[in-house]
A and B are shown apart, each in its own frame.
Chain A
Amino acid sequence: MTEETKHESWAGKIDLYLDGELDARQMKDLEGHLRECPACAGEVLRRLQWKRAIHSAGQRYSPDRSLRERVEKDIFPRKAAWWHWRPAFAATAALLLLLAGARMVQLEMHPHTQHAIQESMLVSELVDSHISTLASANPVDVVSTDRHNVKPWFAGKIPFTFDLPDLQGSPFELVGGRVSYLDQTPGAQLLFRVRKHQISVFIFQARAVHSDLVERQAVDAQSFHLESWKRDGLQYFAISDVAPGDLRALADLLKK
């Protein structure tokens, strides 16, 4: 077999190689050829980029929550049975809220005080999530600096979608993301890096967040800074120990 024929034979196997369809021996032989053949190595890179682009673009559609509920109700009635008890749960929750409200009145708590406590609890919860993320050996569940990998990863895991800006030319780098919870509501936690600092950006559905921190800055007692804003029905919280200016710059990028 001439060198040219050999080359053509390997070039015809590149898709099989990238699709994981070659056996171990063939894979080793092809990798040997790739080390010596810049043309085939370039072709592998080109096709790999296409595979990534199609993989990302192909994860386009997410089911509505109502469809999942319908299927669960029709197909798995046992699992969905608790829905039938929703009115009872709602009534119990309302009663508890009423009792809590009565207690507040009883203590003659000033509305501003209540509000400050609520706000402080929210900030503490976010700071705790941020700190525990940084302390974790695996801070994120999807590790990628590519927004086209991180965003689709959340499809089906959280009940909404969001936009991620192109960070090229900015000092910020996307580290990855994970699912986070606030008041038992799922949302996205994105981790960004700027110099040696990490920034968590939490995104939740605005209607699920009971807070007046809609568009403002706050400083936690532990010297963490927080920026929050609302956009397209989503509530964003950016939290970090970076300088407030850096936090604001990332917030501005995300608002674009």
Chain B
Amino acid sequence: MCVSEERSATGSFEQLALPLFSHLYNFAHWLAQNREEAEDLVQETYAKALKGFSSFEAGTNFKAWMFRILRNTFLNSRTGLKGVAIHLDLPDDDPALPAEQRTPETILLDRASEQIVQEAIGELAVPYREVLLLCEVEEMSYQEIASTLAIPVGTVMSRLSRARRALREAVRQKLNGGSPGPKA
């Protein structure tokens, strides 16, 4: 690659990558649950992405590509290895959670402060936390999530369903002041 081509590639990478900065940081912080580690993850992600930008296929989803790099970087970190190792054996289709109690949800949500929902998200196991955040916060399609996490679309759907149920249950437990139910 000649200098002018390299500059142009850096330019377009910059245009594509910088608008994702806050999104990537938010996701990194949710995964690592630690500011310093999240900062390292974001820096490393940008460095790796720039290095591998020539392998990025134009026309494919750049956002999913960046999030995949960040997520893989996290998985290779000490926190990531620890967080995922514990939950690797979780079946995706096993309805292990208790059936939801029929408390009116509107009342539940009215009572739940943003902080309680945040705490409950933070307590979800990484595979469920990440799929929930990519869907609800990043508003990615199932296909984009599947591409980011390198899992089949069916697994995205089952994990998402489980994550949502687990979150509702966790919020309910917190509001009732009870002990947390089984973690997803």
Contact = CB atoms under 8 A, between A and B. Distances in A.
**Bound pair: A and B?**
yes
B142 interface: yes
A43 to B, nearest CB: 9
Contact of A58 (B25, B133, B164): B133
B183 interface: no
Contact of A61 (B25, B50, B109): B25
Interface in A23-48: 45-47
Contacts of B70: none
Contacts of B18: 72, 76
B69 interface: no
Contacts of A74: 43, 46-47
Contacts of A78: 7, 10
A51 interface: yes
Given A50-B105, A75-B46, A75-B47, A61 B136 contact: no
Interface in A74-121: 74-76, 78-79
Contacts of B141: 19-21
A70 B39 CA distance: 10
Nearest to B138: A58
B10 A76 contact: yes
Contacts of A60: 26, 29-30, 118
B137 A61 contact: no
A63 B114 contact: no
User: Is chain B's interface secondary structure helix, strand, loop, or mixed overall?
Assistant: helix
A71 B46 contact: yes
A100 B38 CA distance: 45
Contacts of B139: 55
Interface string B54-96: 0000000000000000000000000000000000000000000
Interface residues of B, number: 42
Contacts of B47: 74-75
B14 A53 contact: no
Nearest to B24: A63
B161 interface: yes
Given A53-B112, A60-B30, A63-B39, A76 B118 contact: no
B132 interface: yes
A68 interface: yes
B113 to A, nearest CB: 9
Given A19-B142, A63-B42, A55 B136 contact: yes
22 contacts: A16-B157, A49-B106, A50-B105, A54-B121, A54-B132, A54-B136, A54-B137, A55-B136, A62-B22, A63-B22, A63-B25, A67-B39, A67-B42, A70-B43, A71-B42, A71-B46, A72-B18, A75-B14, A75-B50, A78-B7, A155-B26, A156-B21
Interface of B: 7, 10, 14, 17-18, 21-23, 25-26, 29-30, 35, 38-39, 42-43, 46-47, 50, 105-106, 109, 112, 114, 117-118, 121, 132-133, 135-137, 139, 141-142, 157, 160-161, 164, 167-168
